[in-house]
Structure 1
Amino acid sequence: MIDAINRKILAALQENARISFAELGKRVHLTAPAVAERVRKMESAGIITGYGVNVNLDKVGYPIVAMVQCKVYRAKEREFKELLLSYDEVIECLNTTGEQAFLVKLAVESMSQLDEILEAFIDFSDTNTMMILSTLVDRELPETFFK
C-alpha cells in the first residue's frame, strides 16, 4: 500500500495537513479525486491516524514542561492510569521498558501546580522528574520511513 506516491502524499500532509487535494494532486502528479481516494485508503488502513495542530505551550500559558519517569507500585497500575487520565496537564504518557515503565509528559502553569501533580503520583509510584529546557530535534518523519 505504501508506494512512492503515497510516501510523497504522507510527506506533504506532514508538512501541511491542511493542503487541498488539488494542490496535493499537483505535487504528486495525480488528480484531486485520485489523491483523495489514496488518502481515504491510508486512513482506513490506519496508516494516517489523525490530523493535528502544533501548539506553542508557553504562548498559551503553560511555560513549564516536564518529563516524569514513574516506577508504579505493584498492583497500582490500573489506578495510576486512571489518575493520569484525570489530569489535563498530562499531554503524553509512554509505556516503556525498564523499572520506570511510564514516561509522562506534563505541561503546567507553575512549579506549584507541578508539585501538586507529583504529590498525587506519590501514592502510586516513585518518580524522577526532568524539566524540559528546550527541544533540540522535533521533526516530521522523512519519506524514507514510509517504505
Structure 2
Amino acid sequence: MIDAINRKIIAALQQNARISYAELGKKVHLSAPAVAERIRKLESAGIITGYSVKVDLDKLGYPILAMVQCKVYRAKEREFKALLLSYDEVIECINVTGEQAFLVKLAVESLSQLDAILEAFIDLSDTNTMMILSTPVDRALPETFIK
C-alpha cells in the first residue's frame, strides 16, 4: 500500500495538512480525485490517523513548559492516569520503560500553577521536574521512515 507516491503524499501532508488535493496532485503527478482516493485509503488503513495544527503556546499565554518524570506508586497507575486527564495543562503523557515510567509534558501560565499541579501528583507518584528551555528538533517523519 505504501508506494513512492503515497510516501510523497504523506510527506507533503506532514509539511502542510491544509494543502489542496489539486496542489498535492501537481506535486505527485496525479489528478486531484486520484490524490483524494489515495488519502482516503491511507486514512481507512489507519496509516494517516489525523490532522493537527501547531500552535505557539507562549503566544497563547502558556510560557512555561515542563517535563515531569513520574514514578507512580504501586497500584496507583489507574488513579494517576485519571488525574492526568483532569488537567488541561497536561498536553502529553508518554509511558516509558524504567522506574519513572511516565513522562508528562505540561504547559502552564505560571510557576505557581506548575507547583499546584505537582502538589496533586505527590499523593500518587514521586516526581522529577525539568523545565523545557527550547525544542531544537521538532519535525515530521522523514520520507525514509515511511515504507
Alignment TM class, shorter chain as reference: over 0.9
Deviation at 1:140, TM superposition (A): 1.2
Q: Aligned pair 1:140/2:140, yes or no? A: yes
Q: SS at the partner of 1:100?
A: coil
| C-alpha distance in structure 1 between counterparts of 2:15 and 2:74, whole Å | 43
| C-alpha distance in structure 2 between counterparts of 1:13 and 1:44, whole Å | 16
Residues 28-43 of structure 1: pairs in structure 2 closer than 5 A: 28-43=28-43
Residues 74-113 of structure 1: pairs in structure 2 closer than 5 A: 74-113=74-113
One-letter amino acid of the counterpart of residue 142, structure 1: P
| C-alpha distance in structure 2 between counterparts of 1:40 and 1:134, whole Å | 36
Could you state the TM-score of these two structures normalised by the residue count of structure 1?
Answer: 0.99
| C-alpha distance in structure 1 between counterparts of 2:124 and 2:44, whole Å | 38
Q: SS at the partner of 1:91?
A: strand
CA offsets 1:29-74 (integer angstroms, 9 cap, x no match)? 0111110010001111111111010000000000000000000000
2:131 alignment partner in structure 1:
131
2:4 alignment partner in structure 1:
4
| C-alpha distance in structure 2 between counterparts of 1:103 and 1:23, whole Å | 39
| C-alpha distance in structure 2 between counterparts of 1:108 and 1:43, whole Å | 33
1:23 alignment partner in structure 2:
23
| C-alpha distance in structure 1 between counterparts of 2:52 and 2:16, whole Å | 10
2:48 alignment partner in structure 1:
48
| C-alpha distance in structure 2 between counterparts of 1:59 and 1:28, whole Å | 36
Q: SS at the partner of 1:60?
A: coil
Identity of aligned pairs, percent?
A: 86
Q: SS at the partner of 2:56?
A: coil
One-letter amino acid of the counterpart of residue 57, structure 1: L
| C-alpha distance in structure 2 between counterparts of 1:139 and 1:82, whole Å | 30
Root-mean-square deviation (Å): 0.5
Q: SS at the partner of 1:59?
A: coil
One-letter amino acid of the counterpart of residue 125, structure 1: S
| C-alpha distance in structure 2 between counterparts of 1:16 and 1:72, whole Å | 38
**Aligned pairs, number:** 147
Provide runs of 4+ in structure 1 moved above 3 Å: none
One-letter amino acid of the counterpart of residue 38, structure 1: R
